A = this chain, B = another copy of it.
Amino acid sequence: MSDLLERLRERGWRMTSQRRVVAEVLDGDHVHLTADEVHALAARRLPEISRATVYNALGELVALGEVAEVSTDGRARRYDPNAHHPHHHLVCSGCGTIRDVHPAAEPLDDLPAEERFGFTVSTAEVTYRGLCPSCA
């Protein structure tokens, strides 16, 4: 994750203690935190960090392409630091657990020209749903 901090600095991202803890909280695999969860974790290191600052930092990380926004449930958006490895998501309908998954085929290729209605289609996001081992 110091890779991330390094890249951000090189790209001219002004480094503040708030932005640093937000970036640090987003480290790891299968991390899909909501903004409020990021805020709660960040506040353990920096108690007075505000919600607005967390939203600002997350929005900028998304704009920079360093973090992906995921909305699997119509509720709060989730923030995914695994933005450099394209993937899709498998969500447990019971407990909400989210796993990164990699389908065998590229989903975009499965949409025939006659089903594109003249659109320039650029991305496909797949959400798989089911029950995880503990919930089954």
Binding site for B on A (CB under 8 A): 69, 71, 73-74, 77, 90, 92-93, 99, 101-105, 107-108, 110-112, 115-133, 136
Chain B residues closer than 8 Å to A125, beta-carbon distance: 126-127, 129
**Docked complex Cα distance between A116 and B130 (Å):** 10
B107 in contact with A110 (CB, 8 Å): yes
Contacting A71 at CB < 8 Å: which of B74, B90, B108?
B74
> Which residues in B have their C-beta under 8 angstroms from that of A99?
117, 119
Residue of A104, A130, A131 with highest tally of chain B CB at under 10 A: A130
> Can you report 17 residue pairs joining A to B where beta carbons are below 8 Å apart?
A99-B117, A103-B110, A103-B112, A107-B126, A108-B128, A111-B128, A117-B132, A117-B133, A119-B128, A119-B132, A122-B129, A123-B128, A123-B129, A124-B126, A124-B129, A125-B127, A125-B129
